[in-house]
């Protein structure tokens, strides 16, 4: 019996590829760089599975070129790069990798908070340019200790961010559509408020929500104007949750004080205004980018893929109904 064919869209550690290769014929990406849409579709045309990153778009046009496809295994928690409804309609299972990157993303959130509040990137440029001692040192930033932290989305990552705030003696307020359980609020020392109240009160606002129609431009010009002029905005969730054009304008005009942004609309193409701004720290979607976390994500993505191809219970299905449509009840 022949093994199912699988496309791996980005370079992976050899041990991971070997593990997958025991169950499937693996087609490796020739380079560790994002495939073009054409190369991705061509490579997957006769595959039953694809192992992908958030840079790969799976939509109706892609699926039409991949008639044998049974599973799309995303090496990420978010899956806004995938048209899940289109996959379900074609009985293609979608999987993701939740739970293993919470700590790493929370750490990156805090790196952005500290860097934006204390103007670390600006100060680094200043030292590298040889300006220290030759020009005034103007890098007065925002106090972090004791500042009010506003968390939008008190899920797993939001909770991890909140727990870290205790070391800075920060009052924590949060908002999400449904109030969290009392035990979670107590563990995070977090008080529930409306979105507008959070934006008005918080010294630092950090976003931890999924992207979709309800959260498209969740923070736009109106919401940014509610924030303090000294406030710092951090987004390590998903691009599109913030209206990037409105954020650039707010940073240019002093509507808010600073920002730390890891995710953007139209990644990897940034709004042109970001690069010229001194009061924003920019990172290239690296919330999960630690060696240990990425290894866990790849391992879970491979486990999802193998389970789907062998008919076993899949650890993290996004659209389990796709298997039912295909007649696979496992």
- pLDDT tens-digit series, residues 69-106: 999 999 999 999 999 999 999 999 999 999 999 999 99
Mean pLDDT within 114-132: 95
Place of tokens 């993505």: 301
The number of CA neighbours under 13 Å toward the Cβ of 129 is 10
The answer on pLDDT for 224 being more than 90 is: yes
> How sure is the predictor about 305, in pLDDT bands with cuts at 50, 70 and 90?
very high
Planar angle of CA 64, 309, 314, nearest 5 degrees? 105
The answer on pLDDT for 176 being more than 70 is: yes
DSSP 36: P
The answer on pLDDT for 329 being more than 60 is: no
Which residues, at least 6 apart from 272, have a Cβ–Cβ distance to it below 8 Å?
A: none
Distance CA 123, CA 106 (A): 24
> How sure is the predictor about 1, in pLDDT bands with cuts at 50, 70 and 90?
low
Ranking 46-55, 125-134, 201-210, 248-257 by mean pLDDT, the lowest is 125-134
CATH superfamily, with its number, for domain 5-99+291-326: NAD(P)-binding Rossmann-like Domain (3.40.50.720)
User: Is the domain 102-282 a CATH 3.40.50.720 member?
Assistant: yes
Q: Residue 157 is inside which H or E element, if any?
A: helix 156-165
Planar angle of CA 201, 288, 80, nearest 5 degrees? 80
- The residues that are catalytic are 238, 267, 285
Q: Residue 102 is inside which H or E element, if any?
A: helix 102-117
The answer to whether the CB of 150 falls within 8 A of the CB of 206 is yes
The answer on pLDDT for 159 being more than 80 is: yes
Burial code (b: 16+ CB inside 10 Å, e: under 16) for 49-87 equals: bbbbbbbbebeeebbeebeebbbbbbbbbbbbbbbbebb
Distances (CA, A) of 226 to 58, 195, 197, 198, 281: 37, 10, 9, 9, 21
Which residues, at least 6 apart from 287, have a Cβ–Cβ distance to it below 8 Å?
A: 101, 104, 105, 108, 109, 236, 262, 263
* pLDDT score recorded for residue 171: 98
Q: Do domains 5-99+291-326 and 102-282 have the same CATH topology?
A: yes
The length of the chain is 330
Taking the domains of the chain in order of start, what are their residue ranges?
5-99+291-326, 102-282
Planar angle of CA 59, 53, 86, nearest 5 degrees? 20
């Amino acid at each position: 019996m022949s093994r199912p064919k699988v496309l791996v869209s980005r370079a992976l550690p050899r041990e991971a590829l070997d593990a997958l290769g025991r169950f499937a014929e693996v087609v490796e990406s020739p380079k560790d760089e994002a495939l073009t849409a054409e190369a991705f579709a061509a490579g997957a045309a006769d595959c039953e599975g694809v192992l992908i990153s958030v840079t790969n778009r799976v939509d109706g046009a892609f699926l039409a070129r991949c008639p044998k496809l049974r599973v799309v295994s995303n090496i990420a928690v978010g899956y806004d790069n995938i048209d899940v409804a289109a996959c379900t309609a074609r009985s293609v299972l979608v999987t993701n990798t939740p739970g293993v990157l919470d700590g790493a993303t929370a750490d990156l959130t805090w790196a952005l908070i500290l860097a934006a509040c204390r103007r670390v990137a600006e100060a680094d440029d200043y030292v590298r340019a040889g300006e220290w001692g030759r020009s005034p040192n103007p890098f007065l930033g925002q106090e972090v200790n004791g500042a009010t932290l506003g968390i939008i989305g008190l899920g797993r990552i939001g909770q991890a961010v909140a727990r870290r705030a205790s070391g800075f003696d920060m009052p924590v307020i949060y908002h999400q559509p449904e109030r969290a359980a009392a035990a979670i609020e107590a563990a995070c020392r977090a008080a529930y408020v409306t979105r507008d109240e959070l934006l008005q009160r918080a010294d630092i606002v950090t976003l931890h929500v999924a992207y979709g129609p309800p959260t498209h431009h969740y923070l736009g010009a109106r919401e940014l104007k509610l924030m303090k002029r000294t406030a710092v905005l951090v987004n390590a969730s998903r691009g599109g949750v913030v209206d990037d054009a409105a954020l650039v304008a707010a940073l240019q005009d002093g509507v808010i004080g600073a920002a730390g942004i890891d995710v953007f609309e139209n990644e990897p193409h940034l709004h042109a205004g970001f690069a010229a701004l001194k009061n924003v720290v920019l990172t290239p979607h690296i919330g999960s980018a630690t060696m240990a976390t990425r290894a866990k994500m790849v391992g879970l993505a491979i486990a999802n893929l193998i389970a789907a191809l062998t008919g076993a219970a899949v650890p993290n299905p996004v659209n389990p109904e796709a298997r039912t449509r295909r007649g696979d009840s496992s």
